[in-house]
Amino acid sequence: MLPAEEIARQLARGSLTSVELVDNCLERIASIDAPSTTIALNAVAAISADAREVAIARDDERSKGNTRGALHGVPVLIKDNIEALGLPGVAGSTSLLGRLSRDATLVTRLRDAGAIVLGSTNLSEWANIRSPRSTSGYSASGGLVANPWALDRSAGGSSSGSGAALAAGLAPLAVGTETDGSIVCPASVNGVVGLKPTVGAVPTKYVVPISSSQDSPGPMGRSVGDVALLYGILAQSAPPNDTASPTFVVASNWRTGHPQTDELFDHVVRTLRAGGLAITERELALPGEQEGSDEEAVLFGELYDDLNAYLRDRPGRGVKSLEDVIAYEDENSEREQLYFGHENFLAAVKSGGRHGPEYAEARRRNLAWAVDTCLTPGLEGVDLVIAPAYGPSWKSDLSVGGHPGPASPATMAPAIAGWPIMCLPIGLIHGLPVGLAIVGRPHSEWTMIEAARQIERSVLDESPWPLPLWKAPSRG
């Protein structure tokens, strides 16, 4: 799959048509993604019935000299917790099957820019909030997503299908969502680029929610340029005319604990310094048990209020509250709770929402730690924090749960604060991708993108990023 930037150029020159592009994507999805295929990625949850029809319309518009925007005729996949007309938008849950979908605001922006909504991607059910034992990439409605680099490895979560689909070349662009790590993790373990923007930069209307203070949809692609192209549309934002070279601080104590990943990150930092980038080092605050329990209390409180409001508002018959979802899953436990339960849903009901006894103080402590103790002093005098993101992907195991393997704490503070974070690949370890995380201040996305471009150029050294290895399941 060509980079989306190059696809857009070829479409503009007339050397490629949208119909050819969509047909190629659909043929590739049919050959390697469906459960009946040998590979069976399970990355795509559904295909838009009108994808080819829209492609024909985009080609016709272009032939008449009419183009809608920067993504005219470019196919995009969206995560299955984002509503779009004609797609399920069920967040991986069978409890929402059959409910009517509307175009989320971000989907309207994609269509207005000329994009073709090709389909939706599988995910960790309910964006991984349902249970502490959930398996990343598994949903009752879509099955388990495989990692294209090694088919028995996790594609991460919760934007599992978006990351795997990009790595496999099923589409040039994808949209994910993140509450804490759900874009960064699949970007890192699938070897793609992902950006979680500042909370509020990309609208969440008609996106199945977890937390209004932490949820953010964001762009994913195979290169930094592709992510920049998609981010500009999603956030309706343009890069500044003059972008100064950013300054960095290495969070020296934000390590994955995986020796080879951390050593590779250190090598990248040395390479960047040798290339003239200004990089200092300092320790940043580390989260402890209090920060973890406070974030959990906040997420459960906001989940109860926000998901209830969403379910009441969504058209059609079916579950209208979190209590309804729990009852449905108990009645359909052979499908919905085959591998793990809904302990966190029960805890969210028990929390009482934002007016419950724990929420306000937990949120106050959480924000004070993330902003005042961690990020503000960490970013003093520099533009960005960098750290390793995740180690190589772990093996998926539905029997015991699929929690992430080695990971740095890079996602937690920006998640709590609602600040942006980005991830891009920096290399392979035993044939599995690992990524670098970039954290910035609110609304510093274009600075982060410029930094990521510089890192990408330095890491790749003008060599193309390798194609997935498609390793068969194995021991060890």
Tell me, what CATH number does 75's domain have? 3.90.1300.10
User: To which H or E segment does residue 163 belong?
Assistant: helix 160-167
CA–CA distance, 88 with 99 (Å, rounded to integer)? 8
pLDDT at 181: 97
What beta strand segments (E) does 274-321 contain? 279-282
Range of the domain at 277: 4-289+363-460
In a domain, 350, yes or no: no
CA dihedral 260, 265, 269, 274 (to 10 degrees): 50
Residues near 177 by beta carbon (within 8 Å), at least 6 away in sequence: 79, 81, 82, 127, 158, 159, 183, 207, 215, 216, 217, 218
CA–CA distance, 364 with 335 (Å, rounded to integer)? 39
For 14, how many CA atoms within 13 A lie in the half-sphere containing its CB? 6
User: To which H or E segment does residue 328 belong?
Assistant: helix 322-331
In a domain, 385, yes or no: yes
As a whole number of Å, the end-to-end CA separation of the chain is: 31
Q: Tens of pLDDT along 247-266?
A: 999 999 999 999 999 999 99
pLDDT at 462: 58
Angle, CA 295 vertex, CA 141 and CA 309 arms, to 5° = 55
SS3 79: strand
In a domain, 210, yes or no: yes
pLDDT at 402: 65
pLDDT at 467: 86
In a domain, 63, yes or no: yes
Rg (CA), the chain: 21
Residues of the chain short of pLDDT 70, as ranges, are: 402-403, 462-463
In a domain, 450, yes or no: yes
Catalytic residue annotation: 79, 158, 182
In a domain, 357, yes or no: no
Q: Tens of pLDDT along 143-172?
A: 999 999 999 999 999 999 999 999 999 999
Helix axes 4-13, 224-234, angle to 10 degrees: 70
| Whether the Cβ atoms of residue 237 and residue 231 lie closer than 8 Å to each other | yes
| Total number of domains constituting the chain | 1
pLDDT at 238: 95
